[in-house]
Chains A and B, each alone.
Chain A
Amino acid sequence: MTIKEIQEEIVEEFTSFDEWMDKYAYLIELGNDLEPFDNQYRLDQNLLDGCQSKVWLHAWEEDGKIYYMGDSDAIIVKGIVALMIRALSGQTPDDILNNELSFVDEIGLKEHLSPTRSNGLVAMIKQMRLFALAFKAKQA
């Protein structure tokens, strides 16, 4: 699936929730279901410390595609991390760099990604793109 298609799918899933409580319950579920973070990558250089919560991010390349592994100590943040990974992991650097993550806005999670929220998510998205940029530079 393309990033665009995945985003549409996520938005579709979230439109079924009328209540904010259900939405967050789903985020919690996504957080709990996120593939466990490989502890050998739990390193300071992979830590995005947001003051309120922590985010770990590891990335690697395979056959021209980028894969991400992520984690957070806060489960809601982890749920959002899971969505980010779902949207971007396994995509090419170009696709990652050329697609806006519009779903965040559409499913009403924008508040968690404003620069004033010190939860590590803003730094994570930046870092995901930086990885893409770095792999792209290496390919060239």
Chain B
Amino acid sequence: MHYVVRMLQEKDTLVCNAMAIDINKIRAQFPILDSVIHGKPLAYFDNAATTHKPERVVNKVNEVYYTLNSNIHRGVHYLSNQATLAYEEARNKVQHFLNASQSYEVIFTSGATAAINLLATSFGDTYIEEDDEIIVSTMEHHSNIVPWQMMCKRKKAVLKVIPINEKGELDLEAFEAHLSDKTKLVAVTYVSNALGTENPIPEIIKRTHQNNSLIMVDASQAVQHLKVDVQELDVDFLVFSGHKIYGPTGTGALYGKEKYLNEMEPWQGGGEMIKSVTFEETTYNELPFKFEAGTPNIAGAIGLGEAIDFVSEVGIENIAEYEHELLTYATEKLNTIDGMRIFGTSEHKSSVISFLVKEIHPFDMGTMLDKMGLAVRTGHHCAQPIMDYFGIPGTLRASFAVYNTKEEIDRLVEGIAKVAMLFG
């Protein structure tokens, strides 16, 4: 698909752009984009950390509190039923968005981190024995490293790490070499939050399954940028955070194939997740409730459903195409700056550019850009192993969402050039 975009771009960027996305209409839905920061209009490039929320999502959350508020799944009264319906409707939206075959294969969590911790604990308790192996990669976010380390420590299992190459791509030969009959799970990211690399996930899933192992994909940086179809991928588990896809904070989901979710031990115990409780024995509720102990983020989940409607109405393919255009444009422009070093130079990238200019410290550059109303991320991006690999303390990161524009990118490039000059 990316090749198609590139060809279109060479011909006529504007037409390609206008066909898919009405940028003014989109921006109008995000009031925060009109902010003035240090006297300058905001240009927000920290979307990989969190995206802004369209008005309809905020309104939806408000509406839940104003008109629907009730606890779910446990009341006979009207409001409780309405709230339950709305919450389960949100689950259906996530199901259809990911093309899961059953809605109960979608477990609501407070985010990707909670989803991975849930999986690491439940998967570990159910399937992992001493000396079993879990494979992660160097480019994982800390939240897809630490829960597995903790589980491996508990279970005396072994964590294997797929290295990356100088372009910031997974070393697939090393991945092959790691696969063995001890491999119980491969847990890798779809898109790197620190480099933007889009990994060949379909291929990795295929290889994992040929090896009779299971796979979890961290789609935290993928679902908002590209089409993710869990059935087509045949992925066993997949996680994402709602706040990175225009939804409320404190929302997210774990997708899991029914078979494994049924087999796995629950994670947290409490209300909702039980069928019956005595002091002798507790039997667990069915899916998905077995994994949703306690009162969930009801308004948040319903808000996430609304965010998914927003994405679906714009069209994930249109978003992918438009953002790819932004990425290509920004990469070209940034590369005209003297001393520009981009980390993550794979052909297959999505919406993230990580960079340094000369020897300028990211904190210095980030501080100066902020003064110009340009919001970028600085630091190690919760991915220290990547920074260690490149031998740098951190980078600056510009990450794009559907509401960013080429004009904003021009401002960013000008700003960076200005700061670079100041530092000599």
Chain A residues packing against B (C-beta within 8 Å): 20-21, 24-25, 28, 51-54, 73-77, 112, 119
Contact = CB atoms under 8 A, between A and B. Distances in A.
Interface string B347-369: 00000000000001111100110
Contacts, number: 38
A24 B368 contact: yes
Nearest to A24: B368
Given A20-B371, A24-B368, A77 B363 contact: yes
B66 interface: no
B71 to A, nearest CB: 35
Which are the 6 A-B pairs with shortest beta-carbon distances?
Answer: A74-B363, A74-B361, A53-B363, A52-B363, A76-B364, A74-B364
A52 B38 CA distance: 21
A47 to B, nearest CB: 13
Contact of B423 (A20, A52, A75): A75
23 contacts: A20-B38, A20-B371, A21-B422, A24-B368, A25-B422, A28-B364, A28-B422, A51-B379, A52-B379, A53-B361, A53-B363, A73-B361, A74-B363, A74-B364, A75-B360, A75-B423, A76-B363, A76-B364, A76-B368, A77-B363, A77-B364, A112-B367, A119-B363
Contacts of A51: 379
B39 to A, nearest CB: 9
Interface string B364-378: 100110010000001
A21 B364 CA distance: 12
Given A76-B367, A77-B363, 9 more contacts: A28-B422, A52-B363, A53-B363, A73-B393, A74-B361, A74-B364, A75-B360, A76-B363, A76-B368
A55 B367 CA distance: 16
A77 B367 CA distance: 10
A28 B371 CA distance: 15
A30 to B, nearest CB: 13
A52 B362 CA distance: 8
Contacts of B378: 52
Nearest to B371: A20
Nearest to A52: B363
